[in-house]
Structure 1
Amino acid sequence: MRQRRSTRRRGSDSVGDIEFGKPLAVTTTPIPGLVVFDLPVHGDSRGWFKENWQREKMTAAGLPDFGPVQNNVSFNDAVGTTRGIHAEPWDKWVSVATGRIFGAWVDLREGPTFGAVFTTEIDPSKAVFVPRGVGNSYQTLESDTAYTYLVNDHWSPDASYSFLNLADETAAIDWPIPLDKVEVSAKDLLHPSLAGVTPIPARRTLVVGAGGQLGKALQEEFGNLAHVEWATRAEFDLGSPDLRAARRWRDYDTIINAGAYTAVDRAETQDGRVGAWAANASGPAELARIASEFGITLVHVSSDYVFDGSKDRPYREDDAVSPVSVYGQTKAAGDIAVATTPRHYILRTSWVIGDGNNFVRTMASLAQRGIDPRVVDDQYGRLTFASQIAAAVRHLLDTRPAHGVYNLTSAGDAMTWADVARLIFELTGSDPARVTGVSTEEYFASASAPVARRPLNSVLELTRIQEIGFTPRRGIDLLREYLAP
């Protein structure tokens, strides 16, 4: 049975009530991400107890797992003490240990809800999650009020802050106690009106490997967005031992790892192994640690080479990895590392075609020059165009489905490399019969350098990515567009 505890306010004849026995519950507000929690408070004649922060229960109820690193308490001895409006570049979990406040929040983030206002009273049985960039302020309604808040970053002189005047006419906050009758700092009275506020920018997205074929496709997809930051391998080396110090990571929402060591045969050499393990395994593992620590979503692109290609059906996302080459081993290790971070998307692809030199361009050139190639005809798979990977990445980040692995290739029937070559010849006006099919063993029989084992079956099951609303396009249509003059 619910009880209410009455507590007399010092210096006042009025009585405030704390409701005992409320279930943990969440109420949304007009400000996106700003939510109010009802907290269960348990009390008797001795006083009361509450779980002010309980990660497992609160995340299950919908609170972001925001990773607090510091707990602050502001004690206010007088009724009417008023503080704010301050917007900081970190998330806050606001509550009251004793007393009662009137809280006011104004969205000071870039976007369509800039200037939105929400107000409510908070006693020990309530808490509010305040997202990064939402202005926070309060006015004490009882003496000896202890205002407490968890934050998920430490103060930094390099951080971006915004402030709003408590009396701003656009926000039009209806303060219970008029501002001319309260205790307020001179600094808070000098903050600008809403028209003069510098909005808190969106958290950034970092694209690693911006100079590669996938990086270039991502630039086509995201290039006009101001919050997306691009880094080539020279600017951000996945093999570097100090990635954690490379950025102020609290400013980032997403890392897209488009970088990789993809020279599959060179990876079989002594120097190649070092480079492949650094870029494909150690680098993603460090990104995963960074993402876990700072609550970042990590998008990582994987490969069919994590499988041995021995199955007689398309590979599913939950199939056990079984790589047969150094490149495949490094990619599998990277996948395992990335999967340890809570917010991750792994896009597993095959036979990637993008900007620059690749199989399609080579075959088209041979057709034009009258050269009749020998092409492997015992490896099966589907092409994956970099443009489709970029579109799928954007879909994942726009819709935020369940985290995990998603297969992505073009749609359509599986083909061999020789089938693809014949189709390229046909689409470029040449005779597809000029392409001769050979086995993988025959093709590499005369190789003088180390050759990586290839999976003979690289066909990936596409059901899961289709279930989240992304429909891969047919490979023949994409190939036709790719070859168009």
Structure 2
Amino acid sequence: MADGPKQLTSTETAIPGLTLWDLPVHGDSRGWFKENWQREKMTALGLPDFGPVQNNISFNATVGTTRGIHAEPWDKWVSVATGRIFGAWVDLREGPTFGAVVTAEIDPSRAVFVPRGVGNAFQTLEEGTAYSYLVNAHWSPDAEYALLNLADETVAVPWPIPLDQAEVSDKDKGHPRLDAITPVRQRRTVIIGSKGQLGRALEAELAHDHVLDLVDREELDISSPTLATDYPWHEVNVILNAAAYTAVDVAETPEGRADAWAANASAPAALARIAAEHRITLVHVSSDYVFDGSSTMPYTEGEPFAPLGVYGQSKAAGDIAVAGAPKHYIVRTSWVIGDGKNFVRTMAGLAGRGVAPSVVDDQVGRLTFTADLARGIRHLVETAAPYGTYNLTGSGEPASWATVASEVYDLVAAGSVPGVTAVDGIAGSSVTPVSTVEYFASATVPVAPRPANSVLDMAKIEATGFIARDWRDSLQAYLLAE
């Protein structure tokens, strides 16, 4: 070991995710002491909070004992309790760094974090070397390994002691060469509710550089009591839960109430348990309906829940459940517009037919277009923003539904909506503002209460570097794309 204790520091390597660590070792005439694994300090310096569940120690009596190259389906924190090794790591994951090699000497003052799919090997340089590693999955005889021959000519590990003079097991001698190995598949991002308007936007946003699995109810029922075993969750890195029950009025009926709670509360709770067990990042989409809308100010993420109806109550319960997952993003949004039938398209269609509608003007918020929502979700995940709840809507001056309708009518009148021909005399002034009570006065079916104020404060997500587009700009681009 070097003279004097080192500072706790990490060093990036040529293999993404593989980091070398210097550890402070404090010694005196009695021996030495070190903090071999210290979650708070190390995660603060960038080590993934990988959740170790098993500690293994390999004792090696002689110099030249050589083990590997093994890529297991879990992460490792490797250190040396006594002695010294020459370590070699080979990236066996699919991707541009497949076959990349990193080597280093490890003594009690150094450690290395080895991510899943990176081959790990070592050769002892001193007698009586104790090699220790923490892993974040329990060993299983059914675990699938990627194995590489220690003598592979392509990676050409520069072993200090030639392999023909080293102690190597027959099993390790028989591992395949690099050209015969199937690369370890990257942990994937799963989009649940992939056929919905947000699911499709997430696919479009992530398709080019993420390993995606698109899942809808036909493939996976997230309300199933066997959800934990219905999918290979150990292969997942991120769950994007874009599934929800959004029929706010039907939710007020007995059948709708049960369906809303199953989709918006019970299913997210099950996903949160799965995410916690498998160390998955869970992204869940929330709603302005968790608030009663009585505030005169924009709602921050920390405001207490006060839902008015069944839909809002079920969404609030889902938020509470998801917040229990260690790695979670709850993305709270409002007035979502995407592919398919929605308020904006309905208004454009009415304008094209010359209809002069009555639209409520006592509910205020901002439109959120699914393309912008997907972009913000990607930002949170890829920048590793602190876990928690984030408001995410369009930016700009809030407006009522009546004002939004008037904006759509004006764009139609200006000829800005392809496929919709303006009718003479139709413009924004054709929209008649009415109160919510007036609008639903003749309703013969249950009507859910709506929050009057759906404006969400965006300061928290803006502090991470994400700036949402003005909803009016997004509205114009959306209609132009029609």
**TM norm structure 1:** 0.90
Matches within 5 A, 1:8-407: 21-43=5-27, 47-156=31-140, 159-225=143-209, 227-407=211-391
Pairwise CA distance, 1:304 = 0.9
Q: Is the 8 A contact 1:160 1:200 kept in 2?
A: no
- 2: CA distance, partners of 1:158 / 1:19: 44
Measured against aligned partners, the alpha-carbon deviations of 1:344-363 in whole angstroms (never above 9, x if no partner) come to 22211111111111111222
- 2: CA distance, partners of 1:470 / 1:158: 43
The residue that corresponds to 1:463 in the other structure is 459
| Inter-CA distance 54–261: structure 2 relative to 1 (3 Å threshold) | same
Secondary structure of the 1:58 match is helix
The residue that corresponds to 2:479 in the other structure is 483
Residue identity opposite 1:466 in structure 2: E
| Inter-CA distance 22–483: structure 2 relative to 1 (3 Å threshold) | closer
Larger mean Cα displacement after TM superposition, 472-481 or 434-443: 472-481
Q: Is the 8 A contact 1:18 1:123 kept in 2?
A: no
- 1: CA distance, partners of 2:238 / 2:184: 17
Residue identity opposite 2:474 in structure 1: L
- 1: CA distance, partners of 2:338 / 2:46: 39
Measured against aligned partners, the alpha-carbon deviations of 1:34-64 in whole angstroms (never above 9, x if no partner) come to 2223334455555544443333343334321
Pairwise CA distance, 1:262 = 0.5
- 1: CA distance, partners of 2:46 / 2:460: 24
Secondary structure of the 1:216 match is helix
Q: Is the 8 A contact 1:19 1:125 kept in 2?
A: no
Larger mean Cα displacement after TM superposition, 125-134 or 223-232: 223-232
Residue identity opposite 2:475 in structure 1: L
The residue that corresponds to 1:474 in the other structure is 470
- 1: CA distance, partners of 2:83 / 2:48: 27
- The answer for unaligned runs of 5 or more in structure 2 is 414-425
Q: Is the 8 A contact 1:363 1:424 kept in 2?
A: yes
Secondary structure of the 2:168 match is coil
Measured against aligned partners, the alpha-carbon deviations of 1:91-117 in whole angstroms (never above 9, x if no partner) come to 011122333211111222223333322
| Inter-CA distance 157–448: structure 2 relative to 1 (3 Å threshold) | farther
Pairwise CA distance, 1:383 = 0.8
Q: Is the 8 A contact 1:90 1:250 kept in 2?
A: no
- 1: CA distance, partners of 2:6 / 2:477: 60
Measured against aligned partners, the alpha-carbon deviations of 1:204-239 in whole angstroms (never above 9, x if no partner) come to 111111121111211222234561111112322232
- 2: CA distance, partners of 1:21 / 1:371: 79
- 1: CA distance, partners of 2:278 / 2:324: 14
- The answer for unaligned runs of 5 or more in structure 1 is 1-16
Identity percentage over the alignment? 64
Residue identity opposite 1:287 in structure 2: L
Larger mean Cα displacement after TM superposition, 103-112 or 412-421: 103-112
Q: Is the 8 A contact 1:253 1:297 kept in 2?
A: yes
Larger mean Cα displacement after TM superposition, 139-148 or 350-359: 139-148
- 2: CA distance, partners of 1:61 / 1:465: 22
- 2: CA distance, partners of 1:86 / 1:422: 64
Residue identity opposite 1:357 in structure 2: K
Q: Is the 8 A contact 1:19 1:41 kept in 2?
A: no
The residue that corresponds to 1:416 in the other structure is 400
Measured against aligned partners, the alpha-carbon deviations of 1:167-216 in whole angstroms (never above 9, x if no partner) come to 23332322111111111123323334334432222111111111211112
- 2: CA distance, partners of 1:225 / 1:43: 48
| Inter-CA distance 148–355: structure 2 relative to 1 (3 Å threshold) | same
- 2: CA distance, partners of 1:44 / 1:65: 32
Is 1:432 aligned to 2:428, yes or no? yes
- 2: CA distance, partners of 1:190 / 1:46: 44
Residue identity opposite 1:415 in structure 2: A
- 2: CA distance, partners of 1:448 / 1:401: 46
Residue identity opposite 2:376 in structure 1: A
- 2: CA distance, partners of 1:435 / 1:188: 76
- 1: CA distance, partners of 2:108 / 2:352: 77
Secondary structure of the 1:428 match is helix
How many residue pairs get aligned? The number is 469
- 1: CA distance, partners of 2:16 / 2:208: 24
> How big is the alpha-carbon RMSD for the aligned residues of Structure 1 and Structure 2?
2.2
- 2: CA distance, partners of 1:403 / 1:56: 16
- 1: CA distance, partners of 2:251 / 2:141: 44
